[in-house]
Amino acid sequence: GYRQLTQREMGRLMGFSDKDLDKIEGKLNDRQTQFVMGNSIVVPVAKSVMKDAFSAVGIKKKPTVISLFSGVGAFESGLNEMGGYKLARFSEINPNSIKAYTLMHGEPESKNVGDISKANPESFPKNADLLTFGFPCQDLTPNGAKQGYWLEDGSYSRSGLFFAAAD
């Protein structure tokens, strides 16, 4: 037989610290936690990517960050391990991910611009040092909707929102 991972086990598997996990304990049920953690990039991977990027472009201070498709904030957790950051705005639509993000990172929900395809570009500061985003892959994966980047009406699928962010 097998058993389901606990919230803490799922978070640790994804590389989140116990300190971060303490902040969401009891706030989401096991299924919600599995969903939001399972849709996250692994924190050590995010940290490694950012270390390489910082080195390539010469970022040496706490960066001001815009986070898109934020999920629970794996990039932000990696940035904390690298010395910190200042969040300008984040963009997330899943209510459980938003709840976990704001609890884990101590940020107000008012910094969330919501649906990136409907966000006003003026709501993003021009002086941010770093733009992070997790790729919304739900429509491309075998377990997802398999809709591709565009819906039948020509609008973006969730995975196609990557193109809205690129604009």
Residues classed as catalytic: 137
C-alpha 167/C-alpha 130 separation (Å) is: 16
The mean-pLDDT minimum among 18-27, 98-107, 139-148 falls in 139-148
Residue 84 CB-density burial (10 A; 0-12 exposed, 13-18 middle, 19+ buried): exposed
Q: Taking Cα atoms as reference points, which of 60, 5, 64, 56 lies closest to residue 30?
A: 5
> pLDDT digits over 114-134, tens only?
988 788 888 888 889 888 887
Is residue 12 predicted with pLDDT exceeding 90? yes
pLDDT given for residue 165 in this prediction: 67
Name the residue with higher pLDDT: 167 or 85: 85
CB 149 within 8 A of CB 165: no
Helices (H), 64-136: 74-81, 95-105
Is residue 53 predicted with pLDDT exceeding 80? yes
Is residue 139 predicted with pLDDT exceeding 60? no
> pLDDT digits over 74-117, tens only?
999 999 999 999 999 999 988 999 999 999 999 999 999 998 87
Is residue 162 predicted with pLDDT exceeding 80? no
